[in-house]
A = this chain, B = another copy of it.
Amino acid sequence: MQALKDRILAEGRYLQNGILRVDSFINHQVDPELMDACGAEFARAFADCKADRILTAEISGIAPALMAARHLNLPVVYARKHKPVTMPDQVYFTVAPSHTKGNMVDLIVSPDYLPRGEKVLIIDDFLASGSTILGLVRLVQAAGAKLVGIGTLIEKSFEGGRKSLETLGVPVVSLVCIESMENGEFKFID
């Protein structure tokens, strides 16, 4: 997706350890127009999946997933990392290693919003090692729902996440795929 690629080239910053800073338009400040365009792109990519609902993970998955949900006219559910008092005691729960934080994070979804038998599309901001997305996949499986697709804004192909998702047998769509960020120079795969 050219608009997202242009924005990464203009404002993305390579920090270290494979971490890409995009907090001027995705995960601290958010550009609603760009995010809405990304949502429309996801809607086109997954139009044939006939999903019943979108699942993402708080915090930075919310904006792209909400915009995709708007264009697909679906409810969106975000897995919580801390169980709020408003959530029932019986939940779907898994643990996933956090790429940027270096620790483990909880992913929690209320069974009310992940019904058995439904078709679920996962949307998140990054596909890096794939560990967060695999956590979301485990929640889908625990619920007895059916995964129908995975979409992310930015894939960092050098971290190998796509390989870990291949066995799931669903389309994996990244709007932009970065092959390398060495010396802060971005190389994209079309």
Which residues of A approach B to under 8 Å, CB–CB? 15, 19, 21-24, 27-33, 35-36, 58-59, 62-63, 66-67, 69-70, 73-78, 80, 84-87, 100-101, 109-110, 112-113
Q: What residue in chain B is nearest A22 (Cβ atoms)? A: B86
Q: A28-B84, A29-B75 known; 9 other A-B pairs, CB under 8 Å? A: A15-B86, A23-B87, A23-B110, A29-B112, A30-B62, A33-B73, A59-B59, A66-B67, A85-B100
A70 touches B32 (CB 8 A): yes
Of B23, B59, B74, the contact of A62 (CB 8 Å cutoff) = B59
A100 touches B75 (CB 8 A): no
- Chain B proximity of A180: nearest CB distance (Å): 19
B86 touches A21 (CB 8 A): yes
- Chain B proximity of A83: nearest CB distance (Å): 10
A120 CA to B95 CA, complexed, in Å: 37
Of B23, B66, B100, the contact of A63 (CB 8 Å cutoff) = B66
In the complex, the 7 A-B pairs of residues with the closest C-beta atoms, listed nearest first = A32-B70, A29-B113, A32-B69, A21-B86, A29-B77, A62-B62, A58-B59
Query: Could you list some 7 contacts between A and B, CB below 8 A?
Result: A30-B77, A32-B69, A32-B76, A33-B70, A35-B66, A59-B78, A85-B101
Given contacts A59-B62, A85-B19, A86-B100, are A28 and B69 in contact (CB under 8 A)?
Answer: no
A24 CA to B63 CA, complexed, in Å: 17
Q: What residue in chain B is nearest A59 (Cβ atoms)? A: B58
B75 touches A31 (CB 8 A): yes
- A70: which B residues are within 8 A, CB to CB? 32-33, 36
- A58: which B residues are within 8 A, CB to CB? 58-59
B100 touches A15 (CB 8 A): no
A74 CA to B73 CA, complexed, in Å: 23
